[in-house]
């Protein structure tokens, strides 16, 4: 079976990192970037590469974990944890989703609970305690791409050839569920008499209450005639 890499982003502290992370993910052949928590993000720094990347959104880590297990993917935490492997040892077995921690505090206990194993990046200098999220992701994703045997992209002169940009037809900097999921969600909200939050028994969102409150209307169409499937739209950075 063809191996693939994915990246999980769970409420990363600096949302502008998503753009540069998307650029690295595209360069190293990532199949999907999974956002957990907030749907909106800043694509600044992607230089248009986010258009070539598939995004998927979940409200909770458990929802993301279940999806990945259904896809037969390991979940690898990028963290200096007990029993962690040095990433250059390439301890991979199959398709893998990499979970990146907060730059300030690393992976939380809840994040670590869903991981099957951990890798860390060896350092050899004494000037810094850690790398930022995007740099760490680039190193880890490169090691996985080499291990998985991803074909190297064709080069033209001193750069790699970039594919033609696909066209998206929905909002920029936003990752949304398919239209049928959104319709179902709105129906459930109306049944509860509120657009502010959902009962945990309907969709487990209480752990992301603050983020959900901020974007509780963000998946609503901007006008009543908008009926296109909601996915993602990114503009290339100028």
Longest dimension (CA), the chain: 60
Q: How far apart are CA 198 and CA 88, in angstroms?
A: 43
Q: Give me the residues of the chain with pLDDT under 50, please.
A: 43-49, 167, 169-174, 178, 194-238
What is the token pair recorded at 37? 């928590």
Contacts of 121 (CB under 8 A, 6+ apart): 78, 86, 87, 131, 136, 139, 140
Phi first, then psi, for residue 136 (nearest 5°) are -60, -45
The string of pLDDT tens digits covering residues 24-55 is 999 999 999 998 987 665 543 444 445 667 88
What is the token pair recorded at 216? 């509780």
DSSP H stretches of helix in 126-178: 133-148
**Architecture of the domain delimited by 1-238:** 3-Layer(aba) Sandwich (3.40)
What is the token pair recorded at 45? 């720094």
The string of pLDDT tens digits covering residues 209-221 is 444 444 443 334 4
What are the residue ranges spanned by the domains of the chain?
1-238
Look at residues 4, 6, 13, 5 and name the one whose alpha carbon lies nearest to residue 133.
13
What is the model's pTM?
0.69
């Amino acid at each position: 079976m063809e191996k693939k890499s994915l990246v999980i982003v769970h409420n990363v502290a600096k949302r502008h990192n998503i753009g540069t992370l998307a650029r690295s993910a595209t360069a190293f052949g990532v199949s999907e970037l999974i956002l957990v928590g907030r749907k909106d993000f800043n694509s600044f720094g992607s230089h248009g590469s986010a258009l070539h990347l598939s995004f998927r959104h979940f409200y909770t880590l458990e929802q993301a974990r279940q999806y990945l297990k259904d896809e037969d993917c390991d979940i690898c935490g990028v963290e200096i944890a007990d029993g962690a492997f040095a990433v250059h040892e390439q301890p991979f077995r199959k398709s893998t989703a990499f979970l990146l921690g907060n730059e300030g505090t690393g992976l939380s206990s809840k994040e670590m609970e869903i991981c099957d194993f951990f890798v860390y990046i060896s350092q050899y200098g004494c000037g810094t305690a850690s790398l930022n999220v995007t740099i760490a992701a680039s190193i880890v994703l490169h090691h996985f791409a080499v291990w998985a045997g991803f074909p190297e992209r064709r080069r033209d002169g001193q750069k790699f050839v970039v594919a033609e940009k696909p066209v998206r037809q929905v909002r920029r900097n936003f990752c949304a569920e398919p239209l049928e999921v959104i319709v179902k969600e709105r129906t459930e909200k109306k049944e509860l008499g509120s657009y502010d939050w959902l009962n945990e028994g309907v969709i487990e969102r209480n752990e992301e209450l603050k983020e959900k409150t901020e974007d509780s209307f963000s998946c609503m169409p901007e006008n009543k005639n908008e009926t296109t499937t909601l996915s993602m739209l990114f503009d290339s950075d100028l």
